[in-house]
Amino acid sequence: MLIGVDVSEPEIPAGGSATLSVRDRLFRTKSIEQSLAETQSGGPDALKRTMGLTALTMFSVGSIVGTGIFVILGVAVPQAGPAIIVSFLLAGITCAFSALSYAEMAGSIPISGSSYSYTYATMGEFVAWVCGWCLMLEYGVSVAAVAVGWGQYINELFNLFGVNLPAQFVQPPGDGGTVNIPAMIVVILAAYLLLRGASESAKVNTILVFTKIVILLFFCAIAFTAFNDGNLYPFIPLGISGVTLAAAQVFFSFIGFDTAATAGEEAKNPTRDLPRAIIFSLIIVTALYVVVALAAIGARPWEDFEGAGGEAALATILEDVTGASWPAAVLSVGAVVSIFSVVLAVMYGQTRILFAMGRDGLLPKVFTKVNPKTQTPAVNTYIVAGVIVVLAALVPLDALANATSIGTLFAFILVNAGVIILRRTRPDLPRSFKTPLYPFTPIMGMICCAGLILSLKADTWITFGVWMVLGLIIYFAYGFRKSKLAVAQKDGTA
């Protein structure tokens, strides 16, 4: 028994689901063996295994490193001072608790769907639906919010060359515009790549990720030429509380490491490469963030970061050090590339989660239709792209985007709990990776995520609550009756 849920599979009497209690029907689990058999059976709805370790790692890195590192220093440095370096390390370690749990689950259940699929195997259908619905919020709405920002960065990049885009075409209604055309364009481009195939998308994503890493290292190279170690003292001017507050703020710049887990059925060697990709991506990003923070603090006194919004903090450092505006243009290119790679990687993850939910019958079968030539879920991709295009073009998403934080953290809690449950219920299950310091690591993962959830504002909770009510209506109106397990139990074949 864990978090109030009996994780043992209910006995299914002859006669099917009619004799099952509602509770048993809600918490019916899908066996790992059944899930693995579906991925290995081939057939017209099978995905193609094309991704190696590098591609998987770059999908996670691409999802993590968005505009966050370009904007977060202006917000977080005034909270922690030079100790922002420690804040990034603390946030990385906090994320690592959950990342290690994801690594174990990805190596044990290497299928599409990420935490949704893991939850279905450990806590049952209802909790899996809640998790999947949270992931829709995390992936679908967050990518729309990120796409909205592309118009701003494209406009700023054009401004450096004396070109001004009409304001009504780079902002949605409510933010001073009529329609956000750049946001539509970035989503359509990402969808086009995804439709061409997972391998092609992975290649482009890898190029984009390497490009933005090089641009951030370019920033570091210039900033280190003006490094002043006096800027590091006093190292903790605002106390430990400031360090932890800044760590909570920068934590959300690490979210996205779980994207590799959505590629379980397109990885060439999933049991080996998925855990490695998740861990490697977090190590790469943590190291990159720490180096960027150190370079920025060394080149500019921490007090001068106060009030530096947007990407102004890094851009101003480059202009001060070089006395020229062209390095800021390079940084703008980095922001534009970062957003595109995030949109590509996150849309990929969203379509694969919906694919898994459709295959389980919780969503209509249209989400599982695979193009026989490219072996990608084509109709699924069209639907996702269409919804995101509308949201990004026409809807201000600030409040809704904030609610993605709860969805993400809740999914993390479920995966950490799933590790503990699976260790108890399936000790015999082959595991290509085991999270170290068990059970301390998954328990700490749950505690850290719960603490961050409780720190979020009331309006975020209200938005999330509305989203969950909508999800429950859809589940009880469709998935509860139409899921494969429900149909099998009704027919007495489960």
Instruction: Read off the pLDDT of residues 403-449 as tens digits, 9 standing for 90 and up.
Output: 778 888 899 999 999 999 999 999 999 999 999 999 999 999 999 99
- Alpha-carbon distance of 361 to 385, in angstroms, equals 22
Going by pLDDT thresholds of 50, 70 and 90, the confidence category of residue 3 is: very low
Question: From the centroid of its chain, how far is CA 319?
Answer: 32
Q: What is the end-to-end Cα distance of the chain in Å, rounded?
A: 24
Write the CATH number of the domain with boundaries 48-480.
1.20.1740.10
pLDDT digits (tens, 9 = 90+) for 422-433: 999 999 999 999
Q: 271: pLDDT confidence band, cut at 50, 70 and 90? A: very high
pLDDT in tens, 10-29: 444 444 444 678 888 888 89
The answer to whether the beta carbons of residues 277 and 260 sit under 8 Å apart is yes
pLDDT of residue 486: 86
User: How far apart (Å, rounded) are the C-alpha atoms in residues 138 and 140?
Assistant: 6
Please give the share of the chain, as a percent, with pLDDT higher than 90.
Answer: 54
Q: In 3-state terms, what secondary structure has residue 310?
A: coil
Note the helical H segments in 300-397: 312-322, 326-359, 378-394
pLDDT at 442: 97
84-120 confidence digits (pLDDT tens): 999 999 999 999 999 999 999 999 999 988 999 999 9
Give this prediction's pTM: 0.90
DSSP 8-state code for residue 476 = I
Tokens of 38: 């579906």
Q: Which residues contact 346 (CB under 8 A, 6 or more apart)?
A: 63, 139, 142, 143, 146, 256, 259
Residue keyed to tokens 């689950």: 105
What is the per-residue pLDDT for 458? 84
Write 279-282 long-range contacts (CB < 8 A, 24+). Answer: 279/99, 279/100, 279/103, 280/53, 280/57, 281/57, 281/60, 281/61, 281/64, 281/257, 282/60, 282/64, 282/92, 282/95, 282/96, 282/99, 282/254, 282/257
Portion of the chain with pLDDT greater than 70, in percent:
91
Asked whether the beta carbons of 380 and 369 are under 8 A apart, the reply is yes
| Per-residue model confidence as pLDDT tens digits over 285-308 | 999 999 999 999 999 999 888 765
**More confident position, 403 or 57:** 57
* 447 half-sphere exposure, CB direction, 13 A CA radius: 8
DSSP-derived 3-state class of residue 51: strand
Domain boundaries, the chain: 48-480
